[in-house]
Amino acid sequence: MKSVPPVVKSENLYRTYWLYLRLLGVEGKYPLRLVVYVLNLFFITFWYPVHLILGLFNKRMVDLFRSLHFTSECFFSSFKFLCFRWRHREIKAIEKLLKELDQRAESEEDRRFFDQNTRRGAVMLSRCFLGASISAIITGTAAGLFSSERKLLHPAWFPYNVDATPAVFWISFCYQVVGSTLAIVQNLSNDIYPPITFCVVAGHVKLLAMRLSRMGHDGKVSKAEVTKELVQNIEDHRKLMQIIGLMRSTLYLSQLGQFISSGINISVTLINILFFAENHFAITYYVVFFGAMLIELFPSCYYGTLMTNEFDKLPYAIFSSKWMEMNKAYCRSLIILMQFTVAEVEIKAGGMVVIGMNAFFATVRMAYSFFTLSMSLK
């Protein structure tokens, strides 16, 4: 006997996202939250990438490449964090619209689809991102601790002599470990939101297509009720297009930074693996970091393409409904809805790069081109 699928609740899929924001002091109601937020904003979002960038000056080529990937990642992580913080109101508005769409998933078929596909995909994304981040933290710290000489986790600038005393050195080292951990948590909040949102929206578009294709096929439902269902589905499509508009503004700059960051980091990490890794911990760290870069970029592109494909299927779902026996007013409304669904729905990073699999492969090709150029100049 099949178990009854749970009620659709998109908000449950964002629990880890809001947990990361609570850890960073952005969300939640707890003592000293504002203090945590200000400290994170200054010491992690602002100062951490700055002290890494300043540390790149007057360094040997080897040291430059060994730290460039993480410096770039921290800089773009702060950039994306500020972009999402700026669009926090739009994120809340998207969550509210998704809650309204959740209430439309009334049938067991709809709830089963969402549970077995959308929810499962979103949960898998959360776990993959968390696993990649924990691996990067552990291997990065181990690479610094087991280095052949005593040095900081990453080349950086401090307003004092780091090697003045062992105590000063270890305080600076611990700051980098804690700072890199919090920077990765900050990056988790940046990277987990776009693919989960693409996944959830794609799921709701699929549910809308299922409802549209079922219209008129149940002989027990009157024509008046079918007309009412059409009106509700038109309203659902309007809400989905509202979400798309909010996503376009939310992801406009943040995902552009993501593509640039991934292109740079993938190529630099390849160079480090082949030429500059000094021990097995370093090689492991760079391999894990390389995998994390792919995990960071691929899900958004995959689910971005999936969402577009689900929108493209809406006209076919409308045509699959039993519209032949309905009156002219109903058919006119159906034609108008079909005209709205014909337009291609895409999200563009920076208004230029469509977030999809083509962009993913283009980024990988760009990284490989940068890698071969670097090798030719070596």
Distance CA 326, CA 215 (A): 11
CA angle 217, 218, 224 (to 5 degrees): 95
Residue 16 CA to residue 23 CA, distance in Å, equals 11
Name the residue with tokens 């960073």: 24
Residue 302: pLDDT band (50, 70, 90) is very high
Residue 114, classified by CB atoms within 10 Å of its CB into exposed (0-12), middle (13-18) or buried (19+), is buried
> 323 φ, ψ to 5°?
-95, -10
pLDDT digits (tens, 9 = 90+) for 22-75: 999 888 888 888 999 999 999 999 999 998 888 888 777 777 777 787 888 889
Can you give the pLDDT at residue 148? 61
CA distance 142 to 120: 33
Residue that is written with structure tokens 């078929």 in the block: 109
Rg (CA), the chain: 24
The phi, psi pair for 222, rounded to 5°, reads -75, 165
Confidence of residue 113 (pLDDT cuts 50, 70, 90): very high
Q: What is the pTM of this model?
A: 0.90
Distance CA 340, CA 237 (A): 9
Using CA atoms, how far apart are residues 53 and 103, in angstroms rounded to an integer?
48
Q: Which amino acid is at 108?
A: E
In the numeric block, the tokens 């040095």 are attached to 151
Sign of the CA dihedral running 164, 168, 173, 175 = negative
The single-letter DSSP state of residue 9 is -
Q: What is the rounded distance in angstroms from the CA atom of residue 93 to the CA atom of residue 311? A: 21
Q: How far apart are CA 375 and CA 367, in angstroms?
A: 12
Model pLDDT, residue 255: 93
Helix axes 254-271, 223-251, angle to 10 degrees: 60
CA of 267: how far to CAs of 6, 32, 108, in Å? 44, 41, 47
Backbone phi, psi, residue 356, to 5°: -165, -175
Our CA dihedral for 317, 197, 200, 266, rounded to 10 degrees, sits at 90
Answer yes or no: is pLDDT of 149 > 80.
no
Helices 280-312 and 254-271, packing angle to 10 deg: 140
Cα–Cα distances (Å) from 46 to 41, 82, 150, in that order, read 6, 10, 26
What's the pLDDT tens digit per position in 210-220?
Answer: 999 988 887 78
pLDDT tens digits for range 305-341: 999 999 999 999 988 888 887 888 888 888 888 888 8
